Amino acid sequence: MKKYLNLFVRYFTGALFIFSGIVKLNDPSGFAIKLNEYFDVFAQDVAVKQDSVQLICEVNNKKLITKTYAIYAFDKVKNVDWHINPTKVDNPPPYTRFEVFGTWGGTHFISDGYVDPPVLTAKFTLLKNNQIIFEKIEKIDTSQYGMRDYAYQIDIAKLVKPESWLHGFFKSCKNYSLYFSIFFCALEVILGFAMIIAWQMNIALFITALLVVFFTFLTWYSAYFNKVTDCGCFGDFLKLKPWVSFKKDLVLMILVGMMYLGKKNYSSWFEKQRGNIIMVVFSGGTLLFGILCYLYLPLWDFLPYKKGNNIQEIMKFVPKGERASDSISLKFVMYKGNDSVKVTSKEYAGYIEKGYIFSRQDRQVIVEGYKSPIHDFSIMNQLQGIDYTDSMLNAKVPQILYLVPVLDVANTNQIEKVVAIYKWAMSKNYKFYALTSASMEPAKQFCLKYKLPFLFLTSDQKMLMTMARYNPTLYLFDGAIVKDKWSGNHVPSVENLQLYIK
Protein backbone atom coordinates (compact mmCIF):
# COMPACT_ATOMS: atom_id res chain seq x y z
CA MET A 1 0.00 0.00 0.00
CA LYS A 2 2.83 2.35 0.93
CA LYS A 3 4.56 1.62 -2.36
CA TYR A 4 1.49 2.53 -4.39
CA LEU A 5 0.96 5.69 -2.34
CA ASN A 6 4.54 6.78 -3.07
CA LEU A 7 4.02 6.12 -6.77
CA PHE A 8 0.78 8.08 -6.80
CA VAL A 9 2.40 11.04 -5.03
CA ARG A 10 5.32 11.01 -7.48
CA TYR A 11 3.21 10.78 -10.61
CA PHE A 12 0.61 13.25 -9.37
CA THR A 13 3.18 15.86 -8.33
CA GLY A 14 5.15 15.41 -11.53
CA ALA A 15 2.04 15.72 -13.69
CA LEU A 16 0.95 18.84 -11.76
CA PHE A 17 4.35 20.45 -12.31
CA ILE A 18 4.26 19.63 -16.02
CA PHE A 19 0.72 20.99 -16.41
CA SER A 20 1.44 24.19 -14.47
CA GLY A 21 4.71 24.78 -16.32
CA ILE A 22 3.31 24.10 -19.79
CA VAL A 23 0.32 26.40 -19.22
CA LYS A 24 2.67 29.25 -18.29
CA LEU A 25 5.33 28.38 -20.86
CA ASN A 26 2.61 28.52 -23.50
CA ASP A 27 2.36 32.26 -22.70
CA PRO A 28 5.77 33.37 -21.37
CA SER A 29 4.97 37.05 -21.93
CA GLY A 30 1.95 36.74 -19.63
CA PHE A 31 3.99 35.20 -16.82
CA ALA A 32 6.68 37.86 -17.37
CA ILE A 33 4.00 40.52 -16.76
CA LYS A 34 3.11 38.74 -13.51
CA LEU A 35 6.77 38.65 -12.48
CA ASN A 36 6.96 42.39 -13.14
CA GLU A 37 4.10 42.87 -10.68
CA TYR A 38 6.09 41.04 -8.02
CA PHE A 39 9.26 43.01 -8.79
CA ASP A 40 7.33 46.29 -8.54
CA VAL A 41 5.78 45.23 -5.23
CA PHE A 42 9.14 44.22 -3.76
CA ALA A 43 10.79 47.41 -5.01
CA GLN A 44 8.02 49.48 -3.48
CA ASP A 45 8.17 47.64 -0.16
CA VAL A 46 11.94 48.09 0.24
CA ALA A 47 11.88 51.69 -1.02
CA VAL A 48 13.14 54.36 1.37
CA LYS A 49 10.28 56.31 2.89
CA GLN A 50 10.52 59.81 1.46
CA ASP A 51 9.46 63.00 3.17
CA SER A 52 6.59 65.19 2.05
CA VAL A 53 6.26 68.91 1.45
CA GLN A 54 3.42 71.26 2.30
CA LEU A 55 2.27 73.82 -0.23
CA ILE A 56 0.53 76.96 1.11
CA CYS A 57 -1.03 79.81 -0.86
CA GLU A 58 -2.01 82.89 1.14
CA VAL A 59 -3.57 86.21 0.15
CA ASN A 60 -3.51 89.05 2.66
CA ASN A 61 -2.64 86.45 5.33
CA LYS A 62 -5.68 84.35 4.44
CA LYS A 63 -4.84 80.75 3.61
CA LEU A 64 -6.53 79.70 0.39
CA ILE A 65 -4.64 76.50 -0.35
CA THR A 66 -2.93 74.10 2.06
CA LYS A 67 -1.97 70.77 0.54
CA THR A 68 0.61 68.07 1.27
CA TYR A 69 2.46 66.37 -1.57
CA ALA A 70 4.72 63.32 -1.38
CA ILE A 71 8.31 63.45 -2.60
CA TYR A 72 9.32 60.60 -4.88
CA ALA A 73 12.76 59.11 -5.46
CA PHE A 74 12.67 60.13 -9.13
CA ASP A 75 11.87 63.80 -8.39
CA LYS A 76 14.39 66.36 -9.65
CA VAL A 77 12.75 69.67 -10.50
CA LYS A 78 9.12 70.64 -9.93
CA ASN A 79 7.53 73.27 -12.14
CA VAL A 80 5.04 75.47 -10.32
CA ASP A 81 2.58 77.54 -12.34
CA TRP A 82 -0.09 79.58 -10.66
CA HIS A 83 -2.38 82.32 -11.81
CA ILE A 84 -4.20 85.14 -10.07
CA ASN A 85 -7.42 86.42 -11.58
CA PRO A 86 -8.92 89.45 -9.80
CA THR A 87 -12.43 90.20 -11.11
CA LYS A 88 -14.88 92.85 -9.96
CA VAL A 89 -17.86 91.63 -7.96
CA ASP A 90 -20.96 93.84 -7.63
CA ASN A 91 -22.39 92.05 -4.61
CA PRO A 92 -21.22 92.74 -2.01
CA PRO A 93 -19.42 95.92 -3.14
CA PRO A 94 -16.66 97.01 -3.25
CA TYR A 95 -14.90 93.62 -3.08
CA THR A 96 -12.82 91.97 -5.74
CA ARG A 97 -13.13 88.24 -6.39
CA PHE A 98 -9.79 86.50 -6.23
CA GLU A 99 -9.02 83.06 -7.74
CA VAL A 100 -5.86 80.99 -7.49
CA PHE A 101 -5.39 78.05 -9.80
CA GLY A 102 -2.33 76.32 -11.09
CA THR A 103 -0.20 73.20 -11.01
CA TRP A 104 2.46 71.71 -8.78
CA GLY A 105 4.49 69.26 -10.83
CA GLY A 106 1.44 68.41 -12.93
CA THR A 107 -0.98 68.20 -9.97
CA HIS A 108 -3.75 70.79 -10.27
CA PHE A 109 -4.97 72.97 -7.44
CA ILE A 110 -7.66 75.64 -7.40
CA SER A 111 -9.21 77.91 -4.80
CA ASP A 112 -11.04 81.20 -4.55
CA GLY A 113 -11.91 83.89 -2.02
CA TYR A 114 -12.82 87.56 -1.52
CA VAL A 115 -10.28 90.21 -0.67
CA ASP A 116 -10.19 93.95 -0.09
CA PRO A 117 -8.82 96.25 -2.80
CA PRO A 118 -6.64 97.97 -3.81
CA VAL A 119 -3.56 95.77 -3.16
CA LEU A 120 -3.18 92.01 -2.77
CA THR A 121 -0.20 90.40 -1.08
CA ALA A 122 -0.05 86.88 -2.48
CA LYS A 123 2.43 84.47 -0.90
CA PHE A 124 3.45 81.03 -2.14
CA THR A 125 5.28 78.91 0.45
CA LEU A 126 6.70 75.39 0.45
CA LEU A 127 7.46 73.75 3.80
CA LYS A 128 9.28 70.59 4.82
CA ASN A 129 9.06 69.57 8.46
CA ASN A 130 7.65 73.06 9.14
CA GLN A 131 10.80 74.64 7.70
CA ILE A 132 10.49 77.03 4.74
CA ILE A 133 12.37 75.68 1.72
CA PHE A 134 10.86 78.02 -0.88
CA GLU A 135 8.88 81.25 -0.66
CA LYS A 136 7.66 83.86 -3.14
CA ILE A 137 5.68 87.02 -2.40
CA GLU A 138 3.82 88.98 -5.07
CA LYS A 139 2.21 92.42 -4.69
CA ILE A 140 -0.81 92.86 -6.98
CA ASP A 141 -2.83 95.99 -7.76
CA THR A 142 -6.41 94.72 -7.98
CA SER A 143 -7.68 97.88 -9.63
CA GLN A 144 -6.20 96.43 -12.78
CA TYR A 145 -8.31 93.40 -13.53
CA GLY A 146 -7.03 90.50 -15.59
CA MET A 147 -4.97 87.35 -15.35
CA ARG A 148 -1.51 87.42 -13.72
CA ASP A 149 0.73 84.43 -14.42
CA TYR A 150 3.64 83.24 -12.27
CA ALA A 151 6.01 80.34 -12.89
CA TYR A 152 8.81 78.98 -10.70
CA GLN A 153 11.16 76.02 -10.71
CA ILE A 154 11.96 74.32 -7.42
CA ASP A 155 14.91 71.96 -7.01
CA ILE A 156 13.51 68.90 -5.26
CA ALA A 157 16.50 66.60 -5.88
CA LYS A 158 18.25 67.77 -2.71
CA LEU A 159 15.22 66.69 -0.65
CA VAL A 160 15.19 63.14 -2.03
CA LYS A 161 16.70 60.41 0.12
CA PRO A 162 18.89 57.91 -1.79
CA GLU A 163 17.35 54.51 -2.46
CA SER A 164 18.80 51.23 -1.19
CA TRP A 165 20.64 48.80 -3.49
CA LEU A 166 17.82 46.31 -2.95
CA HIS A 167 15.31 48.70 -4.53
CA GLY A 168 17.56 49.05 -7.57
CA PHE A 169 18.02 45.30 -7.73
CA PHE A 170 14.27 44.58 -7.96
CA LYS A 171 13.78 47.36 -10.50
CA SER A 172 16.61 46.01 -12.66
CA CYS A 173 15.07 42.50 -12.51
CA LYS A 174 12.22 43.81 -14.69
CA ASN A 175 14.68 44.03 -17.59
CA TYR A 176 15.08 40.24 -17.47
CA SER A 177 11.52 39.19 -16.58
CA LEU A 178 10.96 37.43 -19.94
CA TYR A 179 14.14 35.36 -19.50
CA PHE A 180 13.13 34.50 -15.93
CA SER A 181 9.68 33.55 -17.19
CA ILE A 182 10.92 31.11 -19.83
CA PHE A 183 13.58 29.65 -17.53
CA PHE A 184 11.40 29.05 -14.47
CA CYS A 185 8.41 27.76 -16.46
CA ALA A 186 10.66 25.39 -18.40
CA LEU A 187 12.34 24.31 -15.16
CA GLU A 188 8.95 23.46 -13.70
CA VAL A 189 8.14 21.21 -16.68
CA ILE A 190 11.58 19.60 -16.61
CA LEU A 191 11.37 18.86 -12.87
CA GLY A 192 7.92 17.35 -13.32
CA PHE A 193 9.22 15.07 -16.07
CA ALA A 194 12.26 14.15 -13.94
CA MET A 195 9.94 13.12 -11.09
CA ILE A 196 7.83 10.92 -13.33
CA ILE A 197 10.80 9.01 -14.80
CA ALA A 198 12.61 9.13 -11.41
CA TRP A 199 15.74 10.72 -12.92
CA GLN A 200 18.35 11.87 -10.38
CA MET A 201 15.73 12.12 -7.64
CA ASN A 202 18.11 13.67 -5.09
CA ILE A 203 18.86 16.59 -7.41
CA ALA A 204 15.27 16.85 -8.71
CA LEU A 205 13.74 16.86 -5.21
CA PHE A 206 16.30 19.36 -3.89
CA ILE A 207 15.61 21.88 -6.68
CA THR A 208 11.87 21.22 -6.43
CA ALA A 209 11.93 21.86 -2.67
CA LEU A 210 13.74 25.17 -3.21
CA LEU A 211 11.18 26.25 -5.81
CA VAL A 212 8.20 25.24 -3.69
CA VAL A 213 9.55 27.01 -0.59
CA PHE A 214 10.27 30.15 -2.62
CA PHE A 215 6.84 30.26 -4.27
CA THR A 216 5.12 29.42 -0.97
CA PHE A 217 6.74 32.54 0.45
CA LEU A 218 5.60 34.57 -2.58
CA THR A 219 1.99 33.43 -2.33
CA TRP A 220 1.94 34.00 1.44
CA TYR A 221 3.39 37.47 0.96
CA SER A 222 0.82 38.29 -1.73
CA ALA A 223 -2.06 36.97 0.36
CA TYR A 224 -1.06 38.42 3.73
CA PHE A 225 -0.20 41.89 2.45
CA ASN A 226 -2.79 41.81 -0.38
CA LYS A 227 -0.16 42.81 -2.92
CA VAL A 228 -0.74 40.68 -6.03
CA THR A 229 -4.33 39.50 -6.38
CA ASP A 230 -3.53 36.62 -8.77
CA CYS A 231 -0.39 34.53 -8.34
CA GLY A 232 -0.24 33.48 -12.00
CA CYS A 233 0.36 29.83 -11.01
CA PHE A 234 -1.66 28.56 -13.99
CA GLY A 235 -1.38 31.66 -16.18
CA ASP A 236 -4.65 32.86 -17.72
CA PHE A 237 -5.99 29.29 -17.89
CA LEU A 238 -6.98 29.30 -14.22
CA LYS A 239 -6.75 32.30 -11.93
CA LEU A 240 -6.27 31.54 -8.23
CA LYS A 241 -6.59 33.93 -5.33
CA PRO A 242 -3.40 34.30 -3.25
CA TRP A 243 -4.71 32.38 -0.23
CA VAL A 244 -5.81 29.50 -2.46
CA SER A 245 -2.38 29.49 -4.09
CA PHE A 246 -0.71 29.52 -0.68
CA LYS A 247 -2.71 26.49 0.44
CA LYS A 248 -1.87 24.75 -2.84
CA ASP A 249 1.84 25.38 -2.20
CA LEU A 250 1.53 24.01 1.35
CA VAL A 251 0.09 20.81 -0.11
CA LEU A 252 2.98 20.68 -2.59
CA MET A 253 5.46 21.00 0.28
CA ILE A 254 3.84 18.00 1.96
CA LEU A 255 3.95 16.00 -1.29
CA VAL A 256 7.62 16.85 -1.86
CA GLY A 257 8.35 15.83 1.73
CA MET A 258 6.60 12.49 1.17
CA MET A 259 8.63 11.91 -2.00
CA TYR A 260 11.85 12.68 -0.15
CA LEU A 261 11.02 10.18 2.59
CA GLY A 262 10.13 7.52 0.03
CA LYS A 263 12.89 8.23 -2.51
CA LYS A 264 14.60 4.90 -1.77
CA ASN A 265 11.60 3.14 -3.24
CA TYR A 266 11.95 4.89 -6.60
CA SER A 267 13.87 3.40 -9.50
CA SER A 268 14.68 5.26 -12.70
CA TRP A 269 12.92 4.29 -15.90
CA PHE A 270 16.22 4.41 -17.77
CA GLU A 271 19.82 3.60 -17.03
CA LYS A 272 21.95 6.65 -16.16
CA GLN A 273 23.48 7.53 -19.54
CA ARG A 274 20.26 7.09 -21.50
CA GLY A 275 18.34 9.00 -18.84
CA ASN A 276 20.79 11.91 -19.13
CA ILE A 277 20.38 12.01 -22.91
CA ILE A 278 16.59 11.92 -22.62
CA MET A 279 16.62 14.76 -20.07
CA VAL A 280 18.91 16.91 -22.23
CA VAL A 281 16.68 16.42 -25.29
CA PHE A 282 13.49 17.00 -23.28
CA SER A 283 14.93 20.12 -21.63
CA GLY A 284 15.99 21.57 -24.99
CA GLY A 285 12.58 20.86 -26.49
CA THR A 286 10.85 22.47 -23.51
CA LEU A 287 12.92 25.65 -23.77
CA LEU A 288 12.35 25.76 -27.53
CA PHE A 289 8.59 25.45 -27.00
CA GLY A 290 8.61 28.48 -24.69
CA ILE A 291 10.72 30.55 -27.08
CA LEU A 292 8.46 29.73 -30.05
CA CYS A 293 5.34 30.59 -28.02
CA TYR A 294 6.88 33.97 -27.30
CA LEU A 295 8.00 34.66 -30.87
CA TYR A 296 4.83 33.41 -32.58
CA LEU A 297 2.13 33.89 -29.90
CA PRO A 298 0.69 31.24 -27.53
CA LEU A 299 -0.25 27.86 -28.98
CA TRP A 300 -3.35 27.73 -26.74
CA ASP A 301 -5.01 31.10 -26.26
CA PHE A 302 -6.75 31.60 -22.90
CA LEU A 303 -6.98 35.39 -23.18
CA PRO A 304 -10.26 37.33 -23.54
CA TYR A 305 -8.98 38.55 -26.93
CA LYS A 306 -8.70 35.05 -28.38
CA LYS A 307 -9.90 34.09 -31.84
CA GLY A 308 -13.70 34.01 -32.14
CA ASN A 309 -14.43 36.26 -29.15
CA ASN A 310 -16.72 39.26 -29.50
CA ILE A 311 -14.99 41.79 -27.28
CA GLN A 312 -18.02 44.11 -27.17
CA GLU A 313 -20.21 41.32 -25.77
CA ILE A 314 -17.53 40.40 -23.22
CA MET A 315 -17.33 44.02 -22.07
CA LYS A 316 -21.11 44.20 -21.59
CA PHE A 317 -21.64 40.75 -20.07
CA VAL A 318 -22.42 40.57 -16.35
CA PRO A 319 -22.88 37.09 -14.82
CA LYS A 320 -26.19 36.39 -13.10
CA GLY A 321 -26.07 37.44 -9.46
CA GLU A 322 -23.20 39.89 -9.96
CA ARG A 323 -23.42 43.66 -9.66
CA ALA A 324 -22.73 45.67 -12.81
CA SER A 325 -20.83 48.30 -10.79
CA ASP A 326 -19.41 48.85 -7.32
CA SER A 327 -21.66 49.87 -4.47
CA ILE A 328 -19.85 52.83 -2.95
CA SER A 329 -20.18 55.27 -0.07
CA LEU A 330 -19.11 58.87 -0.75
CA LYS A 331 -18.20 61.30 2.00
CA PHE A 332 -16.88 64.85 1.66
CA VAL A 333 -14.29 66.21 4.08
CA MET A 334 -14.78 69.95 4.64
CA TYR A 335 -13.15 72.48 6.90
CA LYS A 336 -13.83 75.93 8.36
CA GLY A 337 -11.02 77.40 10.37
CA ASN A 338 -9.85 74.65 12.73
CA ASP A 339 -13.10 72.71 12.42
CA SER A 340 -13.39 69.80 9.95
CA VAL A 341 -16.38 67.59 9.19
CA LYS A 342 -17.17 64.58 7.00
CA VAL A 343 -20.56 64.92 5.30
CA THR A 344 -22.74 63.13 2.74
CA SER A 345 -23.66 64.55 -0.68
CA LYS A 346 -27.07 65.61 0.70
CA GLU A 347 -25.41 67.61 3.49
CA TYR A 348 -22.75 69.12 1.24
CA ALA A 349 -24.67 72.19 0.02
CA GLY A 350 -25.75 73.08 3.54
CA TYR A 351 -22.19 73.16 4.82
CA ILE A 352 -21.09 75.27 1.83
CA GLU A 353 -23.68 77.85 2.88
CA LYS A 354 -22.23 77.76 6.39
CA GLY A 355 -18.83 78.77 5.00
CA TYR A 356 -17.15 75.35 4.97
CA ILE A 357 -14.55 74.67 2.26
CA PHE A 358 -14.17 71.37 0.41
CA SER A 359 -10.95 69.50 1.25
CA ARG A 360 -11.23 66.00 -0.24
CA GLN A 361 -13.58 63.20 -1.18
CA ASP A 362 -13.49 59.83 0.59
CA ARG A 363 -14.71 56.90 -1.51
CA GLN A 364 -15.33 53.52 0.12
CA VAL A 365 -16.37 50.41 -1.80
CA ILE A 366 -19.15 48.60 0.07
CA VAL A 367 -19.76 45.79 -2.44
CA GLU A 368 -17.47 45.16 -5.40
CA GLY A 369 -19.10 44.91 -8.80
CA TYR A 370 -18.20 42.41 -11.51
CA LYS A 371 -14.99 43.29 -13.29
CA SER A 372 -15.05 42.21 -16.91
CA PRO A 373 -11.89 40.56 -18.27
CA ILE A 374 -12.00 43.38 -20.85
CA HIS A 375 -12.53 46.56 -18.86
CA ASP A 376 -9.78 48.86 -20.10
CA PHE A 377 -10.22 48.69 -23.88
CA SER A 378 -9.87 52.17 -25.37
CA ILE A 379 -8.65 53.94 -28.51
CA MET A 380 -7.87 57.64 -28.19
CA ASN A 381 -6.55 60.36 -30.47
CA GLN A 382 -4.72 62.45 -27.87
CA LEU A 383 -3.88 65.23 -30.31
CA GLN A 384 -7.50 65.90 -31.31
CA GLY A 385 -9.13 64.58 -28.13
CA ILE A 386 -11.26 62.05 -30.06
CA ASP A 387 -12.33 58.72 -28.56
CA TYR A 388 -12.56 55.99 -31.22
CA THR A 389 -13.52 53.18 -28.82
CA ASP A 390 -17.24 53.07 -29.63
CA SER A 391 -16.55 53.58 -33.33
CA MET A 392 -14.34 50.51 -33.36
CA LEU A 393 -16.67 48.35 -31.25
CA ASN A 394 -19.74 49.19 -33.34
CA ALA A 395 -18.14 48.95 -36.79
CA LYS A 396 -19.66 46.46 -39.26
CA VAL A 397 -16.64 46.17 -41.53
CA PRO A 398 -13.31 44.31 -41.24
CA GLN A 399 -10.88 46.10 -38.95
CA ILE A 400 -7.13 45.77 -38.52
CA LEU A 401 -5.34 46.70 -35.30
CA TYR A 402 -1.57 47.10 -35.31
CA LEU A 403 -0.49 47.03 -31.66
CA VAL A 404 2.94 48.28 -30.58
CA PRO A 405 2.89 48.52 -26.77
CA VAL A 406 6.49 49.80 -26.45
CA LEU A 407 7.97 51.56 -29.47
CA ASP A 408 11.63 51.48 -28.37
CA VAL A 409 11.91 47.68 -28.41
CA ALA A 410 9.42 46.83 -31.16
CA ASN A 411 10.42 44.31 -33.83
CA THR A 412 10.22 46.23 -37.12
CA ASN A 413 11.61 43.54 -39.45
CA GLN A 414 8.25 43.05 -41.20
CA ILE A 415 6.93 46.59 -40.99
CA GLU A 416 6.80 46.83 -44.81
CA LYS A 417 4.06 44.17 -44.76
CA VAL A 418 2.11 46.29 -42.24
CA VAL A 419 2.35 49.31 -44.55
CA ALA A 420 1.07 47.17 -47.46
CA ILE A 421 -1.83 45.96 -45.30
CA TYR A 422 -2.68 49.55 -44.34
CA LYS A 423 -2.79 50.67 -47.98
CA TRP A 424 -4.91 47.66 -48.93
CA ALA A 425 -7.31 48.28 -46.02
CA MET A 426 -7.72 51.93 -47.01
CA SER A 427 -8.47 50.92 -50.61
CA LYS A 428 -11.24 48.62 -49.34
CA ASN A 429 -12.66 51.20 -46.89
CA TYR A 430 -11.77 48.93 -43.98
CA LYS A 431 -10.78 50.31 -40.58
CA PHE A 432 -7.10 50.43 -39.59
CA TYR A 433 -5.90 51.44 -36.13
CA ALA A 434 -2.25 51.67 -35.08
CA LEU A 435 -2.10 51.69 -31.28
CA THR A 436 0.68 52.38 -28.77
CA SER A 437 1.01 53.43 -25.15
CA ALA A 438 3.71 55.99 -26.00
CA SER A 439 3.04 59.73 -25.97
CA MET A 440 2.45 61.69 -29.16
CA GLU A 441 5.99 62.90 -29.84
CA PRO A 442 7.76 59.49 -29.64
CA ALA A 443 4.96 57.99 -31.74
CA LYS A 444 5.41 60.74 -34.34
CA GLN A 445 9.18 60.18 -34.47
CA PHE A 446 8.63 56.42 -34.87
CA CYS A 447 6.37 57.03 -37.86
CA LEU A 448 8.90 59.41 -39.43
CA LYS A 449 11.78 56.98 -38.89
CA TYR A 450 10.02 54.11 -40.68
CA LYS A 451 8.14 56.35 -43.14
CA LEU A 452 4.76 55.07 -42.04
CA PRO A 453 1.70 56.44 -43.90
CA PHE A 454 -0.41 56.33 -40.72
CA LEU A 455 -0.30 57.84 -37.24
CA PHE A 456 -0.54 56.06 -33.91
CA LEU A 457 -3.49 56.40 -31.58
CA THR A 458 -3.15 55.91 -27.83
CA SER A 459 -4.31 53.02 -25.65
CA ASP A 460 -3.69 51.86 -22.11
CA GLN A 461 -0.37 50.03 -21.81
CA LYS A 462 -1.79 47.19 -19.71
CA MET A 463 -4.54 46.62 -22.27
CA LEU A 464 -2.00 46.57 -25.11
CA MET A 465 0.29 44.13 -23.29
CA THR A 466 -2.69 41.85 -22.65
CA MET A 467 -3.67 41.90 -26.32
CA ALA A 468 -0.15 41.89 -27.78
CA ARG A 469 1.87 39.04 -26.30
CA TYR A 470 4.55 39.97 -28.81
CA ASN A 471 5.66 43.50 -29.58
CA PRO A 472 4.15 44.19 -32.13
CA THR A 473 1.03 42.10 -32.80
CA LEU A 474 -1.43 42.40 -35.69
CA TYR A 475 -5.17 41.74 -35.18
CA LEU A 476 -7.91 41.17 -37.74
CA PHE A 477 -11.45 41.92 -36.53
CA ASP A 478 -14.79 41.33 -38.19
CA GLY A 479 -16.68 44.12 -36.49
CA ALA A 480 -15.93 43.45 -32.80
CA ILE A 481 -15.16 39.74 -33.34
CA VAL A 482 -11.53 38.59 -33.33
CA LYS A 483 -10.92 36.75 -36.60
CA ASP A 484 -7.22 36.09 -36.07
CA LYS A 485 -3.97 37.59 -34.84
CA TRP A 486 -0.29 37.36 -35.77
CA SER A 487 3.02 38.02 -34.13
CA GLY A 488 5.21 40.76 -35.57
CA ASN A 489 7.53 37.91 -36.57
CA HIS A 490 4.87 36.39 -38.81
CA VAL A 491 2.85 39.20 -40.40
CA PRO A 492 0.67 37.79 -43.19
CA SER A 493 0.83 39.09 -46.75
CA VAL A 494 -2.14 40.97 -48.17
CA GLU A 495 -3.03 37.91 -50.28
CA ASN A 496 -3.11 35.64 -47.22
CA LEU A 497 -5.01 38.19 -45.17
CA GLN A 498 -7.76 38.36 -47.78
CA LEU A 499 -8.45 34.65 -47.25
CA TYR A 500 -9.72 35.45 -43.74
CA ILE A 501 -12.26 37.96 -45.03
CA LYS A 502 -15.41 36.58 -46.60
pLDDT: which is higher, 422 or 440 = 422
The answer, yes or no, to whether residue 342 has pLDDT greater than 70, is yes
Of the ranges 159-168, 200-209, 288-297, 458-467, which one carries the lowest mean pLDDT score?
Answer: 159-168
Confidence (pLDDT) at 502: 67
DSSP reduced 3-state for 187: helix
Of the ranges 194-203, 296-305, 331-340, which one carries the lowest mean pLDDT score?
Answer: 331-340
Mean pLDDT of 208-214: 87
Q: Which domains does the chain have, with CATH numbers?
A: 2-45+167-295 (no CATH), 52-159 (2.60.40), 327-367 (no CATH), 380-498 (3.40.30.10)
pLDDT: which is higher, 293 or 362 = 293
Q: C-alpha angle 310/312/316, rounded to 5°?
A: 120
The residues, any chain, with a CB within 8 Å of residue 86's CB and separated by 6 or more, are: 96, 97, 98, 120, 140, 142, 144, 145, 146, 148
Confidence (pLDDT) at 94: 47
The answer, yes or no, to whether residue 310 has pLDDT greater than 50, is yes
Confidence (pLDDT) at 93: 47
User: Which residue in 306, 334, 248, 253 sits closest to 475, CA to CA?
Assistant: 306
The answer, yes or no, to whether residue 355 has pLDDT greater than 90, is no
Residue 153: pLDDT band with limits 50, 70, 90: confident
Mean pLDDT of 33-50: 83
Confidence (pLDDT) at 114: 55
β-pair partners for 363: 330
The answer, yes or no, to whether residue 438 has pLDDT greater than 50, is yes
Looking at mean pLDDT, say which of 218-232, 346-360, 486-500 comes out highest.
486-500
Confidence (pLDDT) at 146: 62
Residue 76: pLDDT band with limits 50, 70, 90: confident
pLDDT: which is higher, 418 or 335 = 418
Looking at mean pLDDT, say which of 133-142, 325-334, 463-472 comes out highest.
463-472
- The two beta strands, 431-436 and 398-404, are parallel
User: Which residue in 208, 174, 210 sits closest to 188, CA to CA?
Assistant: 208
Query: Which residue type sits at 85?
Result: N
Mean pLDDT of 260-281: 80
The answer, yes or no, to whether residue 223 has pLDDT greater than 60, is yes
Residue 283: pLDDT band with limits 50, 70, 90: very high
What digits encode the pLDDT tens for the residues 407-417? 988 999 999 99
Q: Considering all CA atoms of the chain, what is the largest pairwise distance in Å, rounded to the nearest integer?
A: 101
pTM of the complete model: 0.75
The answer, yes or no, to whether residue 321 has pLDDT greater than 50, is yes
Percent of the chain with pLDDT over 90: 25
CA dihedral 381, 382, 383, 387 (to 10 degrees): 40
Mean pLDDT of 78-96: 61
Of the ranges 232-236, 297-301, 426-430, 488-492, which one carries the lowest mean pLDDT score?
Answer: 232-236
The answer, yes or no, to whether residue 106 has pLDDT greater than 70, is no
Mean pLDDT of 13-40: 88
Question: Where are any strands of DSSP class E within 303-409?
Answer: 327-336, 339-343, 357-367, 380-381, 386-387, 398-404
Percent of the chain with pLDDT over 70: 84
Confidence (pLDDT) at 318: 78
The residues, any chain, with a CB within 8 Å of residue 371's CB and separated by 6 or more, are: none
Confidence (pLDDT) at 150: 74
C-alpha–C-alpha distance, residues 398 and 466, integer Å: 22
Of the ranges 23-27, 189-193, 238-242, 306-310, which one carries the lowest mean pLDDT score?
Answer: 238-242
What digits encode the pLDDT tens for the residues 195-208? 888 888 888 888 88
Q: Is residue 402 within 8 Å of 418, Cβ to Cβ?
A: yes
User: Which residue in 351, 392, 410 sits closest to 478, CA to CA?
Assistant: 392
The answer, yes or no, to whether residue 476 has pLDDT greater than 80, is yes
Confidence (pLDDT) at 215: 84
